[in-house]
Structure 1
Amino acid sequence: MSKFSHLLELLLMLQYKEFSTAAELADILEVDKKTIYRYIENLQLSNIPVESKKGRYGGFYINKDFYIKYPKLEMEEMQALLLASKILSKENGFFYSDELKKAIVKIKGCSLNEDDSLFDFKENVAFEMRKAGNLENFNDIISKINYSMSRGKVISIKYFSMNRNSEVEIKLNPYTIFCKNGIWYLIAYCHSTNRERIFDVCRIKQLKITNDIFIKPRNFSLKDYLKSFRNLHLEGKIRVKVKFNKAITEFIEEGKWLMDQQIEKTSDGNTIFHTFVNELGEIKSWLLGFGTKVEVLEPEELRNDIHKEIAGMAKLYIKDFMISE
């Protein structure tokens, strides 16, 4: 990742988090602490009011009077950007077409509300999943997470589950929040599964701070936990590889579906999607939403599960086909 991208993510985290240590920022950005200090100096030289607290429990925070608002584009402005991404393609000689598309996805994600009809693609269930959250309550949710972390308060959230395609209520001990590739994540201890999990903040529909108290374990390592999402051979993780039809290649490439996803385009225009998951239930439901436009390549267990699901559905409708014939 470029220095500019690091500085932007660092600025966003400092703006929305009440306090961050150098070690925490280094783990998230995958750099050493000396680099973090240089980044902080760069921001300060740019007249961004980053304050520091020295000592054993020292760290950084940003003056609350300083605030960068997300862009709020009008519908016509967003349409112009989308049209530009179609015209400025590699086929037309524009070298940075992929970067332009990624930038537009990030702008779109923080500029539009759920009622904007331009992106209301009802035929694609997967897009509806990414729209589970909205910008209006984002600041409130982040603020409550910060408060609960600083006070050691358990939170109760309504979270959009891809597995159930509905909201579920979960109790969490929030450990930290961070921004990665334009997406905000929450790492927390989940009371339902009795383990640490990572949550997409945009999929949190509601959040309540409870009166219950928790103590963050001293042996919890942010660096080790984040490494578990990057380590391809981590015990217990399941490697998933699927092929998306070229008809939805652009749609898949524009989205940030999972934290550790990898996408590659084939010579015939299809898309190969790689990721690693803890269990297959949620991603199975997500893939079924794409119908015939996706094929599971690995693992065999997931491929067989989807085959059984399709076979079961066929039994429900086979009689109708026989009668119609």
Structure 2
Amino acid sequence: MSTNRNAIIRYKTLDRCFRSRSRDYTFHDLLEACNKALVRVNPKSTGISERTLRGDIADMKKPELFDAPIETRQSGIGKSEYYYYDDPNFMIFNQPLDEGEEYHLREALQTLSQFKGLPHLYWVDEIMLRLRESLNIDPKECVMMFDENPNLEGRGFMTGLYDSIVREQTIKLLYKPFNYDEPFEVEVSPYLLKQYNNRWFLFAWGMQEDCLRIYSLDRIKKVVRTNGSYRKNVDVDFQDFFEEIVGVTHHDIPEQEILLKVDLDLIPYILTKPLHPSQSSFRKEEGIIRICVVPNYELESLILSFGDRMEVLEPIEFRERIGNRVARLSERYSTKGGE
């Protein structure tokens, strides 16, 4: 039984022919109709054989597929037969769901409903509403939760940004970084939306700066589409880009081998949830692990989140950077609060 795209096109074409009451279809007519439909979708299609068509008709009759009530009758002219549905109201894509199909559909919708608000899943709410009304399917109460922040500022811009990326349209952002008193405008060619640590970031080419820039969605105040000339991404392979870092900040420096000493009772946790895909055990019995990344603020924050249970050994420059942050933290806690 075929389930590829071409098979679906053929099934839909045959379904339309079998339901027709305005004309009769012989086997040759069905073959011609299927081949025309395939050519409309793909002009290079060479069509199907009579054997394939006979197989499609047999498959459509199977109870486990469509259980289609396909019948034939003599045309009265020669030995030709006409193919038709015995039930004029039958449609292959309008059949009631069985118990297993309903369970899996409910399960899938329940999972997708956790991502409401994401631009490429805007249709989930509409589908759920239609299923409630027409098929009496209502997803159960939540049984699985994902890390999402429904109150995240800037979330409302996601659909527009997503569309601009897909349509390759330049946009103008009104953007206000945390350390700025007033927002400023910047025109960009948007490339990618990326989530990290429950925040969303836009990666785009800054038209004025002529370089890749990162914009946090919660700092965007306004998005306006422009008629500027879109600059296609020919510089950044984002797959490699994120393999070199923790988080989203990428400095234009080579990757570095970083050795970390971890408390032995923390090793099982670190091994099952690596700090980075490049992580490997260097001297496991001593609690030393190795990662190869471009150092950035997100990596520093991740290491510091383990407190005194993780220590940077090498490189010395990165160890000193972490040490300076620890020293400043220690200084803050060396005095009484409020002094």
- TM-score tier, shorter chain, comes to 0.3 to 0.5
Q: Report the TM-score when normalising by structure 2.
A: 0.39
Greater helix share, 1 or 2? 1
Q: Report the TM-score when normalising by structure 1.
A: 0.41
- Which protein shows a greater Rg? 2
Q: Which protein has greater RCO, CA pairs closer than 8 Å, 6+ apart?
A: 1
